[in-house]
Chain A
Amino acid sequence: MAKLRLDRLKPLVALAAFLFLWWILPAAVKSFTRLNLSEFHAPAWLITDKIDQLSNFWAARNHSKIELLEAGRDLARTNARYQILAQRYQNLEKEIERLESLLDLPPQQEYHHEIARVVRRDLNAWWQEIIIRKGRDYEIPIGAAVIFSGGIVGRVIEVNAYSSRVELISSPRFRMAASFDGDSRPVVYQGRIQSGFVAPRGEVSDVPQDLMTTSRKPLSLVSNQLGGTFPAGLKIGTVPWLAPGSTGIFQTGAVELDKRLHELKEVTVLIPLILPENVAHAN
């Protein structure tokens, strides 16, 4: 009987021994381990992602030639459309440059972009993060803006050798300065605790009283460049309702984010050509 009881205590003893060992470890070792935990994890995440890609590749090989021909034709059309858009974009850029020089305006913050695959999603009520497959190897800085075709994805909060951790805009720990489309006054967007199985949501506060919205014609919330992280005009989400806030003058409201936010496969990291001085301080 007594022997059996001792057997039961074995895991506890092991745990105590581990904790004791961890406790007596030098602080430098502990700090190194903590800081590089992601580096140890990263290869496993990459392998999982590569296997996933491989399985997708073999699945794609099963498509018939007709399907591939149709897909190729659609792709060619899309490419043609994008070429036209790219041409228009170049013209607009030239026009902006001309106006900047005419009005003696400082040039807008410029970025180069890195497209990165999402290798892991860490989504729960308390934080919402994704891991992307590019890191210091592509000179991604902490604080860089991450976007996709539907607008803002989030902000880089940790950069490792070959991967980066991105905090999603739906995360309760994410906050940014924003504006309503067509209105320059700054408001605050913040993610919030997410409940499962519904589209991600955030909340907006400090909204001036004169702004009104309806669920039929919701206001569009976009980034402004005052905060220094995001270029202006990127979509955050739509605001279907606003309610009086606790200040008696500003309103608060819910922000409906893009439904694809939690299913992203690829994102774009915007890397500022000139890094703001305080980026390192803030993070």
Chain B
Amino acid sequence: MEPLDHHKGENPSILFFLWLTLVLIAILAIGLAWRQLIDRDAFEVIEKRQTERRILKPGPRGDIYDRRGRLLVGNRPHYSAVVYLDDLRPEFRSQYSKELKKARAEIEATYLTASPEARPQTPPLPNYYKLQWKARQEVIQKYLDQINAITGRNDRLTETRLIRHFNENLLLPLPLVRDLTPDQYARLVEQIPPPPNSPIQIHTDTARYYPYHELAAHLLGYVQNKNLAPDEFPSDGIKTFAFQKKVGRSGLEAFFNETLTGTTGSELWRVDPLGFQDTRLELQAPKQGQALNISIDIDLQRAAETTLGNRAGAAVAIDIRTGEILALASHPNYNQNHLSPFIPQKTFDAINEAGAWLNRALQLSYPPGSTFKILTAIAGMRNGSITLDTAHNCRGVYRVGNRIFRCHARNGHGSVQLTDAIEASCNVFFYAEGLDMGIDTLSTEAQRFGFHEKTGIEVPYETSRNIVPTKSWKREKIGSGWVPGDTANTSIGQGFLLATPLQMACFMASVARDETRTQPTILTRSTLNPKPIEHGGEPIGLNPRQRAHLWQGMEQVTGRQGTGRLVGIDNFRIAGKTGTADFRAHGKEVNLAWFIGFAPVEDPQIAVAIMVEGTEESHAYHGGSTAGPIAKDIFLEFIRQYPERAGRLPPP
């Protein structure tokens, strides 16, 4: 018998197992094929979700330039020293094992060598979790100390910060030191070896940079760091980490946020089972946002803000033809560079306390005072109540019913006609005319000039609290009937009337253009387009003689005898109106100094509105002496920068 003969022949039980095995193998093969070929897509998705991680990096924001191409807001390098925790894993392990040995040695020294009676109830086993974090913290602190030695800083890494970073942003670099100065940055670059010889990396990001510091702070606005919104994350289920993006919080940064925001870039990484980076699979570089060219001229802006100084107030200069804002200042202000890359609490509190967050040019409305007399004059002339011969005798007081209304000239101005009334800002003339035409005519005219509406400028948070009082308005809001005294007050820009400095600048531009509306814009309009710009209004409706009469009165304001004589500039004709209004603010009765005007009279190019807000009862502010010099400096700067438009040079 041969050795293998006993395997010959058919054994039914073996055959059964043979078939059973074959069937099982077939089931496995079919299952495998099913998984590999049919369920492939589903598994691919699961595999991707398990092994891939995405990092999103928002693009830098676009720059903002003034009308002559000067950089107003840019991005400056923001240097940090960072470590990728992945690079430190071997050191974490080694340090952890050292910590563990130390802990065990301590146990041996204290617990095991103690007598059984002295041993505590529960054995003092080391807390492995805490030891792990301690080891990680010590390793990172070692590198931080190296940075401290080079830069002369004294930064410490807290365990809480480390744990938070580990749990929330494991794939992102851990910042050891932020906002390094260029000097510190250069030292670190030179004295810390580049990777892989040192795990410390010098990370360059961007922070918003404002080369002119406080200038146009409210207009330009500021940004704040913000986490990406859930809808900004791709919906493919891959776990995604994101750097913070910068979002405009105020001013143009907020209004044009979408334009300025850059395109987010992304990196796709394959990670190991512990979640650390392994291989980069994809890189899409972030792109900078679009640049914005605005209509501001930084020289005019500087002129306005320098003279405004430490006082609270606002100044607006506007191009009469196009409605482009040439300067828009609000004080008190703040240095935006102190808010970038983040707002320290101390800075926030200081700005808050000074009331500097508010843009007084358009976020607050004030009684326009005597500057409103120009509108009263227009309403009267259109109404027919004011003619070129209309005169009133000013004795310093005016009786309306039982109330006495005063003129600022105690002894009165005597007999005044319109031009003299504007020049001397005679209240009595306008009380009489206001009462003659009535509040309905006056408020309708004010509404025709858009005093009851927002201007619609592309700057956020423009107030809607612009009041043109009417009889129905008073009944609804105050709950009492209209009295003649209210009309008298309104006719000189007091009472319930409220307007913003921006509105007053638009009003002046409209008067200069002989239209009722001016659509202000902060964006540059092409100077090459000679076509008139549609501002949405209509002609004022004064005949040439009436208009000349009005303008003559306004020009006399800045003449030798006028209330705005401090604005006057030799060989430069300015039409304007001063105003001093009473105002209740900060719980006190304070006064407001106003000046509105345009120039040059023969070919109007620029209109201004200045408002200086008294913050103390002792502030004796007057339109001519307080607001006037600011307007003068703006006009002087305009002559310097645009001599041909100011009529100082023959046209080319």
Contact = CB atoms under 8 A, between A and B. Distances in A.
Interface of A: 143, 172-173, 175-177, 185-186, 188, 190, 205-206, 208-209, 224, 226-229, 244-250, 278, 281-283
A249 B206 contact: yes
Interface stretch (B161-169, B181-189, B360-368, B376-384): B181-189
A175 B189 CA distance: 7
A177 B182 CA distance: 10
Q: Which 3 A-B pairs have the closest CB atoms?
A: A226-B186, A177-B186, A227-B190
B191 A248 contact: no
Nearest to B193: A173
Contacts of A250: 77, 204
Contact of B265 (A229, A248, A278, A282): A248
Interface string B142-156: 000010011000000
Contacts of A249: 59-60, 75, 206, 288
Contacts of B57: 247-248
Contacts of A206: 77, 204
Contacts of B204: 205-206, 247, 250
B187 A226 contact: yes
A140 B57 CA distance: 45
B317 to A, nearest CB: 29
Contacts of B285: 244-248
A173 B197 contact: yes
Given A228-B191, A229-B191, A248-B59, 12 more contacts: A173-B193, A176-B190, A186-B186, A226-B182, A226-B187, A228-B186, A229-B190, A245-B285, A247-B285, A248-B288, A250-B77, A282-B192
Task: Give the size range of B's interface with the partner.
Answer: 20 to 34
Interface in B184-220: 185-187, 189-194, 197, 202, 204-206
A278 B150 contact: yes
Contacts of A172: 194
Contacts of B265: 246, 248
B262 interface: yes
Choose among B183, B262, B283 the residue with the greatest number of A CB atoms under 10 Å from its CB. Answer: B183
B190 A247 contact: no
Nearest to B149: A281
A282 B191 contact: yes
B185 A186 contact: yes
B286 interface: yes
Nearest to B286: A248
A176 B192 CA distance: 9
Contacts of A143: 191
A224 B146 contact: no
Contacts of B75: 249
Given A278-B149, A282-B192, A186 B182 contact: yes
A177 B187 CA distance: 8
Contacts of A175: 189-190, 193-194
A188 B189 contact: yes
Contacts of A226: 182-183, 185-187
A79 to B, nearest CB: 36
A10 B189 CA distance: 50
B395 interface: no
Contact of B286 (A209, A227, A247, A281): A247
A222 to B, nearest CB: 13
Contacts of B182: 185-186, 226
A248 B287 contact: yes
A114 to B, nearest CB: 21
Nearest to B283: A246
A282 to B, nearest CB: 4
16 contacts: A172-B194, A176-B189, A209-B288, A227-B186, A227-B190, A228-B191, A244-B285, A247-B57, A247-B206, A247-B285, A248-B60, A248-B288, A250-B77, A278-B187, A281-B146, A281-B149
Contacts of B263: 248
Choose among B75, B205, B265 the residue with the greatest number of A CB atoms under 10 Å from its CB. Answer: B75
A247 B60 contact: yes
Contacts of B150: 278, 281-282
Contacts of B183: 226
Choose among B190, B205, B263 the residue with the greatest number of A CB atoms under 10 Å from its CB. Answer: B190
A130 to B, nearest CB: 18
Contacts of B185: 177, 186, 226
